[in-house]
Amino acid sequence: MNSNLIQLIALVSGMLSYIVNLYFIFNILRVDYFNPVVKIFVKLFKPISQLVFFVPNQAVLALVIAVLLKFFGFYMAYGTDYEIANLLVIALLATLNITLQIILYSIIGAVIISWVAQDNDHPLLRLINEISNKVLAPVKNVIPAFGGLDISPLFGLILIQYLQSFLGGLIQSLV
């Protein structure tokens, strides 16, 4: 097969993995399904969930599909260089790393939104705030506001960076 075509297939597979990973995050955090942005993802994912009816939990199904898409992309790009089991584990770790990256960007986005567009009611901005608030809720319970300043995003970002470093180290050890 042509190497450009293989790279294109791996790229498309990776992009689809990101989309399914967003749906996974929406399911894990139980975001507002009346949000128009989330409705788009639900409509896109509904045919797949109807085909795989034996997996009742949508979050598990989304995670499995995201890992398989990532695995397929890795297999297309590096199939002969690594064992299939290693590629599958790397795909799982990479998918978890993508999840953390999306959450990290959501927290950063929510902080910027709170400075710039506090009263904006755009569905995408509401979704970013909702993801950030649900992820940071446990941190906010432990670390209260400091003189009216919410410093929980700082601790959330540090924790996510630590987890990403840990996952990156695991991936490097397998490569």
pLDDT of 132 reads 93
Residue among 117, 155, 115 nearest 135 (CA): 155
Helices (H) and strands (E) in the chain, counts: 6, 0
- DSSP state string for 69-133: HHHHHHHHHHTTTS-HHHHHHHHHHHHHHHHHHHHHHHHHHHHHHHHH-TT---HHHHHHHHHHH
Give the length of the chain: 175
Residue among 130, 162, 112 nearest 28 (CA): 130
Provide the whole-model pTM: 0.88
Model confidence band, residue 1 (pLDDT cutoffs 50, 70, 90):
low
Tell me the average pLDDT across 18-37.
91
Domain residue ranges in the chain = 3-174
pLDDT of 136 reads 92
Average pLDDT, the chain: 87
Residue with tokens 């399914």: 20
For residue range 114-141, list pLDDT tens digits in order.
Answer: 888 777 888 999 999 999 999 999 988 8
Model confidence band, residue 102 (pLDDT cutoffs 50, 70, 90):
very high
